[in-house]
Structure 1
Amino acid sequence: MIKGIAKIRGLGVYENYTKPAGTQEFGVKNLIYGWNYSGKTTLSRLFAQIESKASNPDLSGCSFTIETDGEPITEANFTQSNLIVRVFNSDFIRDNLNFTGQSFRPILLLGRESEEAQRKLDHCEDLSKRTQEKVKAFAKEAGDLESRFSAAKTTAAAKIKKTLGLVATYTATHLGNDIATISILEDSQLLTEDKLRDDLKLVLTPDSERPGTVERLDASPSIDPLHNEASAVLAATPSLTSTIKYLADNPPIEKWVETGLSLHSEKDKCEFCGGDLSKHRLAELQAHFSEDLADHKRRVEQLHSMVKAAKVSIHLPKEVELNPQFRGKFREITASLPKAIEAFNRAVDTLAADVQRKIDAPFQAQTPTAPAEDLASAIIDTVKDINQVIDDNNQLASNFAEAKRDAIKRAKFHYVQEFIDEQEKVTRKAKVEGLKAKQERLNRFAAIVDLEADKLRAIISQSQLGREEINKRLASMLGSEAVQIKVVHDGGQERFQLVRRNGRPAKNLSDGEKTAIAFSYFLTKLKELKPEQFKDTIVYIDDPISSLDANHIFQVTASIRDLFFWQEKDDGPWVTTCKQVFISTHNFEFFHLLREVKPDGPRQARLFLIKRIGSQSSTFGNMPNSLSKYASEYHFLFEVIHNFHNAPNKADHEILMLLPNAVRRFVELYTYSRLPGVFKETVDQRAEVLFGKEKAKRILKVFHYFSHANSIDRLAGNNELIFDVEHAVSDLFSAIEGNDPLHLKALVQAVSN
């Protein structure tokens, strides 16, 4: 049993590692948490060298001391170690699997050869053969129906071509395409008798007889505004100071005097009676007929002219000028137009007569007769409907070729729909579908038989049994229709090959698929060990959940629990099926799930942390309380920041190596907890809302620069920037204290206990 790692020299990031004082011994279950590039995979390679008992060129020149319950293992004696070790890491994947579609070494599990298994296999193969023969018989019957259907399509296509006078080729293939198109449409394509007749007329109309265009009607009758103006004008009377009452009361005499007044402007004798005409009398008459009265009369006469001009006269096109398909509708709409025009013009005549009475008696107030409602709208609406018919006719005339194509399509689809309906009457489709359903049932049965045959072959073949085991795990992790393992023969030997559901070699696998396949392969390969060997095996698993989503992380955890831990009785203690288990990960969710897997007692389960303390240095030690006590890395992140904030020497690389990623991740979690729910916002946008733009930029800018693996050397070589880092952390503390003092107090208390 491995108890600890005393020292490592010259191995990657373990440049000069010595086990820190107080580091606990390894237990039977050991969980190692560390961020990317902290040294987890490098540590797994040290274990893999003990497994292979052969020097790894990548580890040449290093020295190490691994403490066990016996003699320590070092670089000098590891080849003589009697420990059984199995390691899963990126090197294992590279050396054992092939993701390019080629074959790779199989997992050989012990089968149970027997005459009974062979007898059952023979029966399955015979049953599969008879099933396939029955499938072929059903396929032939369905094929005969399809042949008759094909002949019917040929006949129907020829009939459609002839009926529509199609010049272009129209064969059974074209009909089949149209059937497929119509089958996805919701409505039947059958046309009414009238519509089909109209479309056929258009289809068979030669281009030389294409219809002409008709002029639109222009009518905008209006009487209500004229009536409103007449109401005001007819009600008005001239207000004149020199009005002669007799003339005002006798309009005919007034008009006669007005006409003769212009003949006496320079006369002193009356032209009618020859009597004397005094200048005083002439002045009185001229005062009566003032300019105001003249203006009033002109306004009334202008209104009279406007009213008479409002009469409507519409010249309709001849019905024969329209395309035949529009004539019926044209006739129906225009039937009511003459009466509407007559009613409107009567109202105009009435209003004109009312205005004429005002002309005849300007000093008498008049009230015009109110017109009936909607006289103008009745004409306007009818003209609008007529124009729509004219527009439709003109549209057809202007786009005759396109309209004819549309008519051909509608008529063609009508006849195709008739063909479909006729075929449904003879239940051809139902018969074919019934035969195909029988074939599918038999194929499913054959698949079950073949699966049973594969199971029987697995009993006989060690490779087949290994394939079956790994496929179960893949189905659990990726689903039953995902990538599977197939046994192939390569160079006279059985080999494994990754295949898709269609049986073709699986290529271009996703990272998640590669991870699931590799880990399933590793777990299954452990079964090559005999049970007594597995009990003495030390297993090291390095990050088995790379690129897997949360659901698959649960499945990987369940697989680890089922294989490595068990409980003899319901209320009994949990034990480890192998000697020791080491699992390292950068995923805190996975780390937390593994913590809950039994056994989880302090004597059996140990928690460790790997972290960078320099550009070429990492350390391996006990898990900090902030990670071991809580189910979230949030407290650990804060502890890293808090330690730096309170450190007297802020240039200490052990603190600085963790700081950039810790601050950036902490701010991301803190701001999201305060401002959840807006998916598109970034950590910078949330920080600006909480801290203000200037302070948020000061806090995050320097950590964005350093929070990447390739920036570790930048941090180690830019001591002049540490001052900026110190101020950024100080700004972060002051921002949280200002916004959320209780939260900050609780965090400080949590990492201080």
Structure 2
Amino acid sequence: MSIKKFKHINNLAVFQDFDWDAIIRDDKGAIVEFSPINIFYGRNYSGKTTLSRIMRALELGTISDKYEAPEFTVCIKDLSDVTQVNLSAHTKKVRVFNEDFVKENLRFISNADESIVPFAILGGNTALEEEIKNLSNELGLEHEETPTGFYLERKNAREIYRTAKNTHETIIKQLDSKLTQKATSRETGIKYKPERFGDQNYNKTKLDADITLTLTDGFEPITDEAQQTLLILLDEKPNANIVALSRQNFSLVELSTEAELLVTKSLTASGKIEELVRNSILNKWVKEGKTLHEHKLVNCTFCGNKITEERWSALESHFDEESEKLSRGIASLMTKVEAEVSLVSDFLSFDNNAFYSKFHPNLNRLRVGMEHILEQYKESLEQLRLQLGARADDIINVGTFSEPVDFSTRLVKAYDFYEGIRSQSNAYTGKLSGDQASARTSLRLKEVYDFVTTIQYLEEVKNIEILKEKLDEKEADGKTIANKIKDQINLIESKQRLMNDEEKGALKVNEYLNNYFGHDFLTLKAIEEPDSITDGKKIRFEIVRNGNKAHHLSEGECSLIAFCYFMAKLEDIDTKGQKPIIWIDDPISSLDGNHIFFIYSLINSKIVTSQEFEQLFISTHNLDFLKYLKRLPGALNKNQSKYFMTVREGEKSQIKLMPKYLKDYVTEFNYLFHQIYICANADTDDDDQHIVYYNFANNARKFLESFLFYKYPNAVEHDEKLYRFFGDNRQASSMTERINNEYSHLEGIFERSMIPVDVPEMKKVANFVLDRIKEKDLDQFESLLKSIGVQLLEEPEENV
């Protein structure tokens, strides 16, 4: 969980709109991030201290109010980004050495009347030390990859919890996916079937509500048969108004009354042929024969004899007007009966399709019942017809009349029932849309109910609840272990407080001063004084020289004391064993070469070699110190160490990757050679190269002074060395001398500062220098090129 990068810095001193991801990339374009060890190099005022102040803001949880609207984002592995508004959100131990640390803790440097803020480290109680050691062993180490003790228990608990959480979330996601699919899938989702389920804005939230409804007590889904009925209803379109059928008058009663009169009517007996009266069949036969022979034939076609007048007279008397009238009456009534049969055959003729489907069942029942009643009614008419036919066949004799059953009342009721259905169907047009909406709701709920049953929703929910209970148990286990660690830390700290010894802090500083720097005459002393506030004691630190309070310390002495104080404070009770993130900003100010080496040795032995850090940042402006830092364990391992530069251009600074030549060949000589090489090969039309030309005179002068001193170490004037170096090329020596004098010094020729830089001349001089070095010593030239990461191309051989 180390710091990965300063993702963004804006409006913070010399940093404006700095974007890490846009700038800090390797030669393959990949973003480079911080390593366990990180080395920064930069000239003074290039922004090194500003970066340390960002880190100190993470340490203290606040940033100086002297900055106006600062913005920065620090990325930390496995934690949320830290910005200027949530400086205390992270859980890292950060310790920063910079000028702010010195001012806050060693105030005597700026004010002789002030003292040094004391700090306590563990004292020398053997029993307590052993107890603390045992407690610390139980607690273990909070190593990211290989923790021990309680931290290992916590890691295992977290892994178990993470597994349980993943399982729980996976089951939830699977169920959620099923619900989402059912709600909004284009192929099977309820949303995309609004014509059936009625909601084109249907979503998972609405599905959840429907599921809750279908699972309530008392909910009953519609049956499959009802489902089919409702589906038919959804296909309904508003019907035209159904016109009423004419109400029909049934005549069975009138026909029956009239038939009874005709069937039971008696005829006068005088003049009747007895034989025919007794035999109705013969009577009918004779009557038909009379009709066939009368006024047509003289002889009987049956026997061939002549029909006499007396026989005609007897037949006329037998078949008199009364009987003929009765026969005609019977025939007429039978015609009425037949007409009634035809009339009722078309009774209540209707088309189901004219009605809404919900009325079809009643219409079908009506149709079946009505057909049965009509058959009965027709049977009653048939009874009348048969009785009339029987009397017509035996017109002479009085018949017996049997009154048929009258079913006309039932037919009237059937008509009224039909009219009720017709009225309801016509009225239903206005209710159709509402019933269809209700039908869609019922169909949707049945769809949801069937879906819940199919996916075994209740079983899945129960399984999720069981997994949640297990997850809560694992979370509780993790909290128990976390509390266990917290309690153990509190116990250790409480016992450490029993051993707090501020004097030990002073002795640790003195140990570093004496062992590493040999300053046994300059020491830090812990002075005990009464505390008027607590009525107890308080400790202050004081610098002592030869037994007396020291005054007028040199800048170098102040630097040594400040850094030794910082190193000793890494062993105070709040830091010891915590493996903090450490930032050391330019600790070698005003120190000579020996002291610079000792600073390096102290960092190496007490921080790096002992691995008492999680992540280390060191910044410097000193190339000698940078050279030493390359010797740190892991410094040359690209996975363990990264090298950066702070580069200021005008009023703005950037963080950049350290160039290879500066990382691999740490001398200013190589750097100056590289600047001359860049000038010689720069594009004169590129505005971004302006700074190269602007600094060229100083860089060339310093390079040539160093280069020519080692080439001509005898006491010869610089100008003479230029002439000797360039030989017969007087143009090269003259132009170089002119640029060195006029562009690297403004004294006496101030007007030069008002004239634009002469780019072509500088580019030409840079090439003069490179060509001459190559000409005089090719091996050295190639070595210098390699030191700045340039491979010399072989020149083609000339044809012989």
TM band (smaller chain):
0.3 to 0.5
Larger Rg, first or second structure (1 or 2): 2
TM-score of the pair, normalised by structure 1: 0.47
TM-score of the pair, normalised by structure 2: 0.45
